[in-house]
Every structure is written in C-alpha cells, then in structure tokens.
Amino acid sequence: MDTHELMHLQRKKRIGLMGGTFDPIHQGHLVTAEAARSEFSLDKVIFVPSGSPPHKLGLQISSKEQRYLMTVLATAANPYFEVSRVELDRPGESYAIDTVRYFKSKMDHESELFFITGADAIFEIVTWKDVEGLFDRCTFIAATRPGFNLDALREKLLKKLSVHHLKKIIPLEVPAMAISSTDIRGRISNNRTVKYLLPEEVENYIYKNNLYK
C-alpha cells in the first residue's frame, strides 16, 4: 500500500479487513467481502494475504507471491477492493493483532475498522494473540452459511468471552460460504472441475503454474 492510499485511509471511514491464506482465493471470499461492504456501508475492503500464518505452520501452502497474485487477479475488477502486502512483507509469524494495529494507526481516530472472517474462525478467537486488543480496535463480521446455528455460536462464545465482547461480533449470512479453498485444492488434485468456484483469472493462473497437483 503506497503513501497515497494510506493518506486516503486517514479520513473518517468504515474499513473492512479480510485476512486469509487465500490458497486459492475463491468466490466465497469475494461474495463475503462484497456482502459485508454492502451490509455495513464499508468504504472499502482490504484483502490481507497471510504471510506466515501460525495456525498453518508445517503445512504445505503456496508461496507468498503466488497467493498475493491470485488475490490481486481476483479483486482487480471491484473498485472497492484492495490488496495489502503488510503481512507478506512483515518478517516472522502473521498475527491479526499486528495487522489491526497497523491499519488503525493509519486511520482517523473516529474511523471504524471491521474484521471480516468466517463464523468457524470466530470459535478460535479466544486463542488468538492479544484478543482483548483486537476487540478494543475492531468489530468482527462473522460470515455464516444459511441455516448456521447462531445460538450455538453465542453459547460457545459466552463461555470464553464477555457480553461486551460478544456485542462486537455481528453475524452475516452469506450463501457462498459453502465454497472452500481446501475443497478446490482437492478437486484440482483429482482433476475435477473448479469452474465458477473461483474467478476465471485465478483458475487460469492455477493451471498455468501447475498449483495443487
């Protein structure tokens, strides 16, 4: 992100952050980001590919540059989407709190930051580094599949989080949440079609670079 973009963030705004490995990015990610942008009147959604995600250490994932390029290809057509290299260029493991602090430091004090993630990942929030700092700095948008049991989510979270924290987790139902990167990698590995599960530009990039075989 260049200086012009950072200055643009400093006006009072509502900014969405969408982090992830994006290996590969797919229509579920894009539909979720656009739904959050529309539902919460976000000025933009910034996609943040993970550098070295601590929960995936030891697992084989595509290179940082490959995942970054796929994310750029997937988001290029939407003027409200941007891609940041902040985690890719930061040494060491990638923690959400460091990324949230970075973007908050670039924003006006009254601007709001929304962290977009899947409801499944919300269950893991209590294990994240400096969870108190995260809740102090942003609101979580928890994307759910249609029919997802929100009461079960609240019950489980109440065992670990305060009511005050729970109020900063807002569910958002997204039909395309059933699509997963794991399933796409498996399909490609088994020579099954992935057409329409991810942008055509990303699909072409995967086959051109022989990923997930």
- Here the CATH number for the domain that contains residue 140 is 3.40.50.620
Whether the upstream peptide bond of residue 146 has omega within 30° of 0, thus cis, is: no
How confident is the model over 176-184, as a mean pLDDT?
Answer: 89
User: Among residues 19, 22, 27, 28, which one has the least CA distance to residue 46?
Assistant: 19
The answer, yes or no, to whether residue 132 has pLDDT greater than 60, is yes
User: What's the token pair of residue 164?
Assistant: 């005050």
Cα separation of 115 and 101, whole Å? 12
How confident is the model over 182-210, as a mean pLDDT?
Answer: 97
Per the domain annotation, does 68 fall within a domain? yes
The dihedral formed by the CA atoms of 88, 8, 37 and 81, expressed in degrees to the nearest 10: -50
The dihedral formed by the CA atoms of 127, 68, 139 and 156, expressed in degrees to the nearest 10: -40
Total-model pTM? 0.90
Per the domain annotation, does 213 fall within a domain? no
Give the least confident one: 7-16, 59-68, 108-117, 153-162. Answer: 7-16
Q: Is 90 helix (H, G, I), strand (E, B) or coil?
A: coil
Cα separation of 18 and 114, whole Å? 9
Q: Residue 59's pLDDT is what?
A: 74
Q: Residue 56's pLDDT is what?
A: 62
The answer, yes or no, to whether residue 8 has pLDDT greater than 60, is no
Q: Which residues contact 22 (CB under 8 A, 6 or more apart)?
A: 29, 47, 49, 50, 67, 70, 71, 181
Q: Residue 163's pLDDT is what?
A: 86
CB-based burial of residue 159 (10 Å sphere; 0-12 exposed, 13-18 middle, 19+ buried)? exposed
The answer, yes or no, to whether residue 134 has pLDDT greater than 70, is yes
Q: How confident is the model at residue 10 (pLDDT cuts 50, 70, 90)?
A: low
Per the domain annotation, does 82 fall within a domain? yes
How confident is the model over 112-137, as a mean pLDDT?
Answer: 90
The answer, yes or no, to whether residue 4 has pLDDT greater than 70, is no
How confident is the model over 169-184, as a mean pLDDT?
Answer: 90
Q: Residue 70's pLDDT is what?
A: 98
Alpha helical stretches, state H, the chain: 3-9, 27-39, 64-75, 86-89, 96-106, 119-122, 131-137, 150-158, 163-166, 181-189, 200-208
Give the least confident one: 2-6, 55-59, 143-147, 184-188. Answer: 2-6
Domain limits at 87? 3-207
Q: How confident is the model at residue 51 (pLDDT cuts 50, 70, 90)?
A: confident
Q: Residue 32's pLDDT is what?
A: 96
Q: Residue 184's pLDDT is what?
A: 97
How confident is the model over 114-143, as a mean pLDDT?
Answer: 90
Q: Which residues contact 154 (CB under 8 A, 6 or more apart)?
A: 166
User: What's the token pair of residue 176?
Assistant: 């395309």
How confident is the model over 94-122, as a mean pLDDT?
Answer: 92
Per the domain annotation, does 212 fall within a domain? no
User: Locate tokens 């994006």: which residue?
Assistant: 22
User: Among residues 62, 15, 78, which one has the least CA distance to residue 43?
Assistant: 15
User: What's the token pair of residue 151?
Assistant: 């009461």
Number of domains comprising the chain? 1
State the CB neighbour count (10 A cutoff) for residue 186.
13
The answer, yes or no, to whether residue 92 has pLDDT greater than 90, is no
Query: Residue 49, CB half-sphere, CA atoms under 13 Å: how many?
Result: 28
The answer, yes or no, to whether residue 198 has pLDDT greater than 60, is yes
